[in-house]
Amino acid sequence: MSYSFDNTLPGLARAMRPDPALTLEQKVAFVFVFFLFVFLGLLIIRCFRILLDPYRSMPSSTWTDYMEKDTFDYRFA
């Protein structure tokens, strides 16, 4: 006597088998999550690049402005 799993519990066996066709909502959700992971990866790469070389991403006018002004004002203040 051999019983197959499908014969003894037909409803449970069908419920445990994944449906190969995805709905439109599932496809849209997977694409959205994929683009979120890509965006997160780009942000992580950008943050590491800023940490490794912070002065490259900053315009030079923001850290050389003090050279154009009178430096004695900053020393006595």
How would DSSP label each residue in 4-58? -HHHH-HHHHHHHSPPSSPPHHHHHHHHHHHHHHHHHHHHHHHHHHHHH-TTTSS
- Residue corresponding to tokens 């850290």: 63
The whole domain housing 30 covers: 24-55
pLDDT band of 10, cuts 50, 70, 90:
low
Q: Is residue 7 part of a domain?
A: no
Per-residue pLDDT tens digits for 15-60: 666 667 889 999 999 999 999 999 999 999 999 998 998 887 677 6
In the chain, how many domains are there?
A: 1
Q: How far apart are CA 44 and CA 57, in angstroms?
A: 15
Query: Is 66 within the bounds of a domain?
Result: no
| 75 in any annotated domain | no
